Amino acid sequence: MATLKKMKKRIPFGTISITDKSKGLIKDILDSNRVSSGRYVRELEKSFARLIGAKEAVAVSSGTDADALALAVLHDFGAKREDEVIVPALSFVATGNSVLQAGFRPVFVDVEKDTLNISPDKIEAAITKKTRAIMPVHLMGKPAEMDSINNIAKRHNLFVVEDAAEAYGAAYKGKNVGTIGDMAAFSLYVAHIITTIEGGMVVSKRTDFAEVLRSLRSHGRACKCESCVLNVSSGYCDKRFQHGDNQDIRFVFERIGFSAKMNELEAAIGLGNLDRYHDILNKRRENLLYMIEKFREFKPYLYTIEESPHEKIGPHAFAIILGEGAKFSRNELVSYLEKQGIDTRNLFLSMPTQCAGFGYLGKKIGDFPNAEYIGNMGLHVGIHQDLNKEDLDYILNTVREFLLKVK
């Protein structure tokens, strides 16, 4: 059998698909000189809503903005500045950042080590009279326990905003992730299954939420029509001077807003990706399930998240967590994988205790033991559509060789 050194490969974490359709649309957009948010963004929104099974979809400039704007909507529905939003302690830092950007205070709850998701049993103890929402994260595409979360929210009259950044193709008890709470935020970042290079999308079943979102992404303007005729050359809007004392509606600001619009070029990339969505998703799902099955041989030294009968994991990437009895560190494993050409990412951090920016909250190491464990012991590698079985076996063989060296 050839040695790893002789068969060394390069296994990138992510990939991107820029289709011929996208390239053609980009040329048309550039030729038209209409590159700001317009018809192609609207087309992407409508197609995205149909794909997820939502009534409304509003495109924004990043996944972080999608989280932040979804939460900022709540100011129009009774929330106040410095009210609280419950979030899992373990996530990419954008989750916590977005709560602050929306004008709220994050209240962190520990996660479960086997699911990586917020522990429903710990949520109610974190609820106060200032709590306005729960934002579960479907981390690594594994659905959070939405029935429990929604039941808690209903008992306490709270909103539920799903952070579905990594959860394309995920399903929970027959429902698409992103359609189970009041709103959901998706990331369209370059490494994700649907990408606009940068970008995000908020989906909801509520038209009133979508109207506020369209205002928020454009500085809080009173303009919130689904399609803006002023974005079409020589367009005339009969609403423009019908606001109050014939004011120009574009300069009436009803709420604190953001500058978070998606542009036409980004939408063109996304529209091309939507055409390939099911092929990409199916290939990633095939890779994910293969890796989950094969990885069980590495217990108890290493483990990954498992798929339960009531769910489908969205195949974003492949999580690897060190078992409690491991005699090696996460960084030793990462170093070995990287030297063999396997691109890795750490599996995020406990935001309140392992990210310095949240130090002002006064939390200390030990307050969120499960999140901190994953922050120290977790990593993830790619399972994207450009990887084949030979590539996956290379990852598995490399892990196997590492364990033989350190056991």
Enzyme catalytic residues: 192
Q: What are phi and psi of 299, to 5 degrees?
A: -70, 145
Pairing of strands 131-134, 56-60: unpaired
- Between the CA of residue 203 and those of 85, 281, 362, what are the distances in Å? 19, 20, 34
Instruction: Say which residue the tokens 């604190």 belong to.
Output: 256
**Integer Cα distance of 14 and 97 in angstroms:** 24
Rounded CA separation 119/133 (Å): 16
| Cis status, amide bond into 136, omega within 30 of 0 | no
Classify strands 349-350 and 302-303 as parallel, antiparallel or unpaired.
unpaired
Q: What stretches of 89-239 adopt beta strand conformation (E)?
A: 90-91, 105-109, 131-134, 159-163, 171-172, 175-176, 183-187, 200-204
Quote the CA–CA distance of 101 and 301 in Å, as a whole number.
39
Dist CA 41 CA 199 (whole Å) = 11
